[in-house]
Structure 1
Amino acid sequence: DSGNDALLMARAMWALARMCYTRPENDAGQRFVDALIAASTRAVKNADSAAVSMMLWSISRLGLGKSSYGLMSLCVLRMRTLDLAGCLDSRAVATALCALARLEIQPRGAHAKFWERALDKYGAGMNAVEICDVNWALAKLKGPTPTSTVLSEWDRCLERKRAELSASLSASAKNRTWFTSSTSRASYDGTRLSTTVSRSQLARAKRSVSSKLRRSHRVNK
């Protein structure tokens, strides 16, 4: 069905991105990429949250330039439709913001308002990985700033994750084994973002969120 078509196109783009495919090397390669973008453009109107997330992540990695911007806009419009239908989730929001940041596309007008509402609606439910990625994206995009309620939830979530990592490191040291945990920005495993976060990423996000939260409290006094 049409929903499966969207997921199929998203997986094709994701596979190219995973192979670090950047630019067509010949006419045949360019025709293939053009056909893939055209097919994805037709299918995106029926894409679910997972397919839209995968498309956005892939577009940001493929480096296809302006030829993919039209598809990117349609993906964001589809996200707005999914949001109205109650079918969007925090993972899709985090992935999309990271994609925009990688492409250095600054949301404006109605798009900017949408991301403000999305952060307010889905931000409090984000996990530590999503928070780290979104915080990185917002710094690149110079906004928007989440509400103090969302920032408070982020601060608590990051603190819990930091305690978990510290406990894991302590247990690993006792067992004389190495503990590793890392992630790349919005790294897709085919169905979702990576579920791990490094201590350095966590520390940077915690400092940034705590700083924003303090500024927010000063403004509200």
Structure 2
Amino acid sequence: MTTPAPSATSAPAPGTALARTGAAALVAGPLVFLTLEAVSAWAWDYPAYSYARNWISDLGVPDPGTFQGRVIDSPLAWLMNTGFVLGGLALLLGVVAVTRAVAPRRTRVAALGLGVAAGIGYVLVGLTHTSTAAAADGTIVLHFAGASLAILGGNTLALVLGVHWRRRPGTRALGRTAALLGVLGLVAAATLLVTATSTSAPNGLVERVSVYTLLLFEIRTGLHLAARTTTGRSSTGDA
């Protein structure tokens, strides 16, 4: 007696495990980042941490002191730096899952490159700091390079994929949201370059716009990817 072959519908779609893992990473990474940021800000000793005035990176400086006129004292700096590193790793995993079925190839390669650059940037921000000591030993350059990769690379990724998805049935709403977030993040980044040396500008708020747009893009994309894997479709490619 011959055992009947399993039907095609009973087997998981190729890449489904990766897609589900990537979707979870894209949603969980930003949520973990925002939670650790809030806890680190809550633990800030004195003066009170300001989401409008203080840079996000201030929360990751392990040594109390003064930098660029800001008094920095973050007792949970290690926690914030953990958030940066985990956020970067989650983005790296997510972008691999998201871009695996994107076509044409040049768009896929561009998106993957931007996502990898942004993820590495996050990790660099978590491993290096902005402080007088970092300025003295030169590692502050790595921090600024990482921040640039994360913000510019991540928001450009959102814009590139947004434009791509807007042209595909099934991902048009996702594409519009991603493109809008990418443009908003890049505008905020450009504004930050102009106001960075100002002590009166709300640079912390402007920086957060440029970072939070990327986080929102990740969450929105992760939710879309999760919904597709639930219905048996394993990617956000050319649906």
Give yes or no for TM over 0.5: no
Q: Give the structure, 1 or 2, with the largest relative contact order (CA under 8 Å, sep 6 or more).
A: 2
Structure with greater helix percent: 1
Length-normalised TM-score, structure 1: 0.29
